[in-house]
Amino acid sequence: MSTTFRDLGVPADIADDLAARGFAAPYPIQLATIMDSLAGHDVCAQAPTGSGKTLAFGIPLVARTEQARPRRPKALVLAPTRELAAQIAEELSLIGRTRNTRVATFYGGVGFGKQLEALKRGVDIAVACPGRLLDLFEQGAIRLSDVETVVIDEADRMADMGFMPVVRTILAEVRDRHQTLLFSATLQGDVHKLIRDHQVNPRRHVLDAPTDAMGSRTHAFWRVDRAQRTNLAAGIALAHGSTIVFCRTKHGAERLANQLSHVGVAAVTIHGDRSQAQRDRALALFQAGKAQVLVGTDVAARGIHVDDVACVIHFDPPEDENTYVHRSGRTGRAGTSGKVISLVSADQESATKKMQRQLGLPLGLEMPTTNLPTPSGEPHQMERAESPSQGRNPSSRSLTRHRNGPDRSRSAASSSRTGYQGGSRPSSDSQANRSSSSTQAARPLQGRGPRPKNSTRNGRGPKRAA
């Protein structure tokens, strides 16, 4: 007899609602971590994409989180991208619907207005990208001193994007005796340092990543000429249905989507130059089946969860084996099957074979399938999401303008132009240069061991000159 969520100690109302949604038995990462999380322990878990991590931390988070006061959330989830933050918040809202748990997202690319309104009403669980959260905190719009549980999802991606210094600053502002749940594809490097400095006797759980690289997916590596790739991508999408295609650059993603649409394959794009509204619309068209292909850069490798994606195409090679795993994880999720196809040109063969060895995948390249469907050649007339905006990103609008009215907009705009004091903050939409994490001074805690010393005033933001 299989273990149930109730067997793990999940409260009856949450367990019954999960069963009604079709989640009868926990996945391995949930079996491994839920009991420790419910017991209040710090947890660090290495688990591959598509393994059920959101439920693994979401169930204990909702079960343990009490109602919060305005502007003072009780729980915090940090995510590297807007898409991941939005999808985590959606799942947490479903888990918490029997308890009326208030969940809200905080990320850039959109204005501050709705986020400020949510904070005024009260948010129990805040799901945020680090940059926007720090903006709100520094302006005094959110207080972190009531936060009892922090979840850091995709911690390795956070490190890759240069967010670790910001994450450390945020962790120093939550209450001293808090629980930290960390989930990552790897627990090495900067992630290991974060565990060492910000967790107390964590329960460690590791799910084997190479298994995930194969998982329930079949992997094919096709030897191709670069000029063949667009027609092959179109034929693969027509053969398999719902397809995500990964390109290395934003320009390349836009060009490929236009080429696919021109030959009759409906395609939309998602990358860092598109506004949040444009990205949301593209994702909605793809989820609804109105677009057959979603073309994205690696910003989409984390945080894009669409059910029943049949195929992933590596149009351009991934940066490394971890990127390959995360891209490929968009298909074959949670036990379903999927197809992963890499289009490999002659100059990429050596790096591809090295990656195959590192991931334990069969070595070698093969010729493309010859019986792929042929595109109609008629330009697809689907209403495409608008082109990437050329103007100012709405996230650049000053929070001060929303707080103090239009009469102060001039000074607010000036503040926005001058940028973040003390150095540039990485965007949540694009890969930033790797930034080394600085270890902060620690102070002793009663009962739980050392936590980093708060660098500001008890969750109220840094002191400013009078």
Cβ(360)–Cβ(321) below 8 Å: no
Element (H, E) at 314: strand 311-314
pLDDT at 60: 98
Q: What is the mean pLDDT of residues 432-441?
A: 39
Point out the least confidently predicted range of 33-42, 261-270, 457-466: 457-466
Domains annotated for the chain, with CATH where assigned, are: 6-207+428-452 (3.40.50.300), 212-359 (3.40.50.300)
Instruction: Decide: 301 and 288 in contact? Cβ < 8 Å.
Output: no
Instruction: Please check the confidence at residue 456 and state whether its pLDDT lies above 70.
Output: no
As given in the structure block, the two tokens for residue 20 are: 């009604």
The three-class DSSP label of residue 193 is helix
For residue 370, name the pLDDT band (cuts at 50, 70, 90). Answer: confident
The DSSP 8-state label assigned to residue 73 in this structure reads -
Please state the pTM of the whole predicted model. 0.67
> SS3 of 96, please?
coil
Distance, in Å, from the CA atom of 138 to the CA atom of 160, rounded to the nearest integer, reads: 24
Whether 393 shows a pLDDT value over 50: the answer reads: no
| Mean pLDDT score, 256-276 | 91
132 within 8 A of 141, measured Cβ to Cβ? no
Count of alpha carbons within 13 Å of 57, Cβ hemisphere only?
Answer: 32
Question: Exposed/middle/buried for 170, CB within 10 Å: 0-12, 13-18, 19+?
Answer: buried
pLDDT tens digits for range 201-218: 999 999 864 444 445 789
Average pLDDT for 277-283: 88
Does 246 score more than 90 pLDDT? yes
Specify the pLDDT at position 426: 52
Q: Tell me, rounded to whole angstroms, the distance of Cα 430 from its chain centroid.
A: 12
Up-side HSE of residue 5: CA atoms within 13 Å toward CB? Answer: 26
What is the spatial distance between Cα 309 and Cα 338, in angstroms, rounded to a whole number? 7
pLDDT at 439 exceeding the cut of 90: no
pLDDT at 188: 85
* H or E segment to which residue 255 belongs: helix 250-262
For the record, the structure tokens of 303 come out as 């945080």
Of the listed ranges 42-56, 98-112, 263-277, 289-303, the one predicted with least confidence: 289-303
Under 8 Å between Cβ of 82 and 359:
no
DSSP state of 67: P
For residue 278, the Cα-to-chain-centroid distance in whole angstroms is: 17
Query: Rounded mean pLDDT of the chain?
Result: 82
Spatial separation of the C-alpha atoms in residues 442 and 262, rounded to whole Å = 58
For residue range 61-70, list pLDDT tens digits in order: 999 999 999 9
pLDDT of 409-432, one tens digit each? Answer: 333 433 443 444 433 355 444 444
pLDDT at 382: 52
Residue 66 is encoded by which pair of tokens?
């009490």
DSSP 432: P
What φ, ψ does residue 343 adopt, rounded to 5°? -95, 110
- The residue with greater pLDDT, 2 or 345, is 345
Q: Are strands 442-443 and 451-452 parallel, antiparallel or unpaired?
A: antiparallel
**DSSP codes, 330-362:** TSSGGG--EEEEEEE-GGGHHHHHHHHHHHTPP
Q: Which two tokens stand for residue 393?
A: 């990103």
Residue with tokens 């959110």: 142
Per residue in 37-88, pLDDT (tens digit) is: 999 999 999 987 667 899 999 999 999 999 999 999 999 999 998 888 998 9
Angle at 87 (CA atoms; ends 84, 92), nearest 5 degrees: 120
Element (H, E) at 126: strand 125-128
Question: Of the segments 10-19, 206-215, 316-325, 388-397, which one has the largest average pLDDT value?
Answer: 10-19
Residue 301 — very low, low, confident or very high, per pLDDT cuts 50/70/90?
low
Give yes or no for residue 444 having a pLDDT over 50. no
Q: Bigger pLDDT: 126 or 458?
A: 126
Say if residues 62 and 101 touch (Cβ distance below 8 Å). yes
Three-class SS of residue 329?
coil
Per-residue pLDDT, 300: 60
Residue 160's pLDDT is: 82
